[in-house]
Amino acid sequence: MRFFVVPAAALVTTVLAVTPVSARPDAPSPILTTPDARDTLSYAQPQVARVTHVDLNLAVDFRTKTIGGTAALDILGAPGAHEIVLDDNGLIISKITDSAGRSLPYQVGAHDEYKGAPLTVQIGAARRIIVTYRSGPEASALGWLSPALTAGKKKPYLYTQGQSINNRSWIPTQDSPGIRQSWTAKITVPSDLVAVMSGDRLTPKGVPAGRGRHSYRFRMDHNVPPYLIALAVGDLAFRPLGPRTGVYTEPSMLDRAARELSDTEKMVSTAEKLYGPYRWGRYDILVLPPSFPYGGMENPTLTFATPTIITGDKSNVDVIAHELAHSWSGNLVTNATWSDIWLNEGFTTYFENRIDEAVYGQARGATLADLSWDNLQRDLKEAKPDQTRLHGDPEGTFGELDYNKGATFLRTIEVAVGRPRWDAYLSSYFDRHAFQPQTTAGFLADLRANLIKGDKDLEARLDLDKWAYRPGLPANAIHIRSATLTKIDETLERVNSGAAMASVDPSRWSTQEWLRFLNGLPRKQTPARLAELDRDLHLSASNNPYVRSAWLVLAAQNRYEPAIASMAEFLPRVGRGLLIFPVYRALAGQGDWGRSIARRIYADARGNYHPTVIMTLDKLLGNAPAS
């Protein structure tokens, strides 16, 4: 396929001719044309024609579980460009027209199970097209919840999850992180529900739209990667946490959520002191129902968060620090392709740790960094070598290597050059590349130009290319050790040498200390020892989902049948992959015994999960739940 390389100046001039600067403060970021910037998970040909802005006018239909209406796309085309290629995954398209209503020919190409299909539109001279459509019944971005699956049990709920390539199932656009777009939206919903999105909320109370419905309007003036366009609709209440922070959730969850997240405003101020101004206006948090598949999703202005972080002791608000940090690494400077997702998650995991340390103290930061090292060692042990490169597979590295190997890389640079110099560099890096895509090669070039500056000794000590492009962990990796976790290790040593579980006092343990203890127990345990663990530490009945998950994994690995009832209660009501995937995998790893239990539980739980979780578990358990 032939690509037209358009100079950056031409891009800016063309888009300004279409849209006034006052309406769109960010000029389109230049498209990277190096081979490593080609997004193999998108059908788009941005050097020929690219989307710069999306206007959505959509209605949410809970009866049919569809979203439908129009998407108007502003297009920037190279000279001679007569068609644009969008990404489509199951959209039901009625028509495509230009801004004057004239029909435009289009064709949906061959469908790939993972990527979807190319949607090619013959645009002629048009630079704005309007797609009339609705989402399909299997839209992978859309989580539809019946009232029974919400906290209030009375009203339905909808939320979207765009990362990495799911938004093409409800928005016809070029669904690639390197093709940043501004957007607006008008969303019409039942009048007893509230809509929120990842942009400025222009109509917080909604506007009557007739037939028992009302509409909300939203705007995102900054160009963002399209996976960050997010929507939720439900019975939502709001409470401010500070001048520019607040929390949305169902009314029955609001008090607990607000108490747990009360440090959010302080986190934002702390992050700004580290790496420069917060550029997105508000930072609000939406605490979702339990089926949300991730700990959090960094949607601009509105982080989506799992309720599993609400444990009453703030020991899991590092998730919020992580999603907030994405406001710089990921949202402000974005990986150009999914082969470089570590530029998003590795940077953010490092930044998150710095926020936690500044807000909660050095001991807390060291504890989280040490656990990150544990998780890194686990993944390195279990992964194949080719799965451990930072720059690599567009579907990511093994496990959490993008997060933990990436963060360890940055921490290693920090120790080598000193924190003041490193912080000054990172702050300037975010400024230089604000609202632009980035590749691994681009980051290393920037690092060499603006930090190393020809220092051959420093270059040799850092071993940058080995970190970025080769498997495994370089020998210069920095391991932060936690005194808090050292005490847990001492307890583990006593227990593993035969001390009674009753001698363990976990009453003041944080979630992180619990995880160090439970994950540090030998994987092979006798039924008597497991019974002692459960009886003395009350594991099967734990209200902390992190603790319960770690315990159930150990129980499954040992075929401990008394814990099956706890699994059957826990797995259907929690949708977070981090907490349920390990339990299902541990069961599946126990042959027919475990697989039959997993399939039986999954048959009841499947309807509670997000489509992305269902896809993973269908594959793990044999494509279909047991009847």
CB burial string 25-39: b at 16+ within 10 A, e below: ebbbbebbeeeebbb
Query: Residue 391's pLDDT is what?
Result: 94
CA-closest candidate to residue 459, choices 448, 469, 473: 448
* pLDDT value at 8 more than 70: no
* pLDDT value at 395 more than 50: yes
Q: Could you report the per-residue pLDDT of 13-70, keeping only the tens digit for each?
A: 222 222 333 334 456 666 777 888 899 999 999 999 999 999 999 999 999 999 999 9
CA max distance for the chain: 79
Stretch 367-393: mean pLDDT: 92
CA–centroid distance for 357 within its chain: 22
Query: Residue 251's pLDDT is what?
Result: 97
Cα 160 from Cα 293, distance rounded (Å): 11
DSSP strand pairing (237-242 vs 245-249): antiparallel
Mean pLDDT of the chain: 92
Kindly state the DSSP code that residue 217 receives in the 8-state scheme.
E
Q: Could you report the per-residue pLDDT of 100-116, keeping only the tens digit for each?
A: 999 999 999 999 999 99
Query: Residue 399's pLDDT is what?
Result: 86
Query: Residue 3's pLDDT is what?
Result: 25
Q: Compute and round to an integer the Cα radius of gyration of the chain.
A: 25
DSSP strand pairing (128-134 vs 66-77): antiparallel
pTM here is 0.90
Spell out the domain ranges in the chain: 8-235, 333-469, 504-620
Residue of 323, 357, 414, 513 with catalytic role = 323
Kindly state the DSSP code that residue 202 receives in the 8-state scheme.
S
Give the number of C-alpha atoms closer than 13 A to the C-alpha of residue 320, restricted to the C-beta side: 31
CA angle 538/542/545 to nearest 5° reads 145
Q: Please, are residues 282 and 199 in contact by the beta-carbon 8 Å criterion? A: no
Cα 299 from Cα 159, distance rounded (Å): 12
Beta-bridge mates of residue 194: 234
The least confident of 22-31, 215-224, 364-373 is 22-31
Cα 616 from Cα 396, distance rounded (Å): 15
If DSSP codes are grouped into helix, strand and coil, which group holds residue 560?
coil
Cα 338 from Cα 344, distance rounded (Å): 9
The token duo for 36 is 């490593």
Q: How crowded is residue 381: how many other Cβ atoms within 10 Å of its Cβ?
A: 7
CA-closest candidate to residue 285, choices 234, 341, 244: 244
Q: Could you report the per-residue pLDDT of 243-289, keeping only the tens digit for each?
A: 999 999 999 999 999 999 999 999 999 999 999 999 999 999 999 99
Query: Between these two residues, 338 and 20, which has the higher pLDDT value?
Result: 338
The token duo for 420 is 């003041």
Kindly state the DSSP code that residue 167 receives in the 8-state scheme.
G
Q: Could you report the per-residue pLDDT of 64-94, keeping only the tens digit for each?
A: 999 999 999 999 999 999 999 999 999 999 9
CA angle 255/260/263 to nearest 5° reads 120
DSSP strand pairing (333-335 vs 436-438): parallel
Query: Residue 618's pLDDT is what?
Result: 96
The least confident of 317-331, 393-407, 536-550, 556-570 is 393-407
Residue 403 annotated in active site: yes
Q: Could you report the per-residue pLDDT of 464-475, keeping only the tens digit for each?
A: 999 999 999 999
The token duo for 31 is 């498209």
Query: What is the band of 5 on the pLDDT scale with cuts at 50, 70, 90?
Result: very low
Q: Do 8-235 and 333-469 share a fold?
A: no
Query: Residue 26's pLDDT is what?
Result: 58
Query: What is the band of 396 on the pLDDT scale with cuts at 50, 70, 90?
Result: low
Cα 265 from Cα 287, distance rounded (Å): 16
Query: Residue 7's pLDDT is what?
Result: 29
Assigned CATH for 8-235? 2.60.40.1730
Query: Residue 23's pLDDT is what?
Result: 38
Q: Could you report the per-residue pLDDT of 280-305, keeping only the tens digit for each?
A: 999 999 999 988 888 999 999 999 99
No. of helices (H) and no. of strands (E), the chain: 19, 22
Query: Residue 611's pLDDT is what?
Result: 86
For residue 237, the surrounding DSSP H or E stretch is strand 237-242
Q: Please, are residues 238 and 274 in contact by the beta-carbon 8 Å criterion? A: no
- 36, 52, 179, 487 from 43: Cα distances, Å: 16, 16, 12, 52
As its CATH architecture, domain 333-469 has Orthogonal Bundle (1.10)
Query: Residue 246's pLDDT is what?
Result: 98
CA–centroid distance for 240 within its chain: 24
Cα 269 from Cα 350, distance rounded (Å): 17
Q: Give 472: exposed, middle or buried? Use CB within 10 Å, 0-12, 13-18, 19+.
A: middle
Percentage of the residues of the chain whose pLDDT score is greater than 90: 88
Residue of 227, 275, 403, 425 with catalytic role = 403
Per the rule left: phi > 0, alpha: psi between -120 and 50, beta: everything else, 4 is: beta
For residue 530, the surrounding DSSP H or E stretch is helix 527-537
CA-closest candidate to residue 575, choices 236, 161, 11: 161
* pLDDT value at 489 more than 50: yes
CA-closest candidate to residue 286, choices 375, 158, 414, 398: 158
* pLDDT value at 344 more than 70: yes
CA-closest candidate to residue 594, choices 606, 585, 604: 585
Query: Residue 292's pLDDT is what?
Result: 87
* pLDDT value at 10 more than 50: no
The answer regarding whether domain 504-620 maps to CATH 1.20.120.790 reads no
Kindly state the DSSP code that residue 116 receives in the 8-state scheme.
B
Residue type, 489: D
* pLDDT value at 525 more than 90: yes
Q: Could you report the per-residue pLDDT of 156-202, keeping only the tens digit for each?
A: 999 999 999 999 999 999 999 999 999 999 999 999 999 999 999 99
CB burial string 42-56: b at 16+ within 10 A, e below: bbbbbbbbbbbbbbb
Query: Residue 294's pLDDT is what?
Result: 87
Say which residues have a Cβ less than 8 Å from residue 211's Cβ, sequence separation at least 6.
Answer: none
Q: Please, are residues 54 and 171 in contact by the beta-carbon 8 Å criterion? A: yes
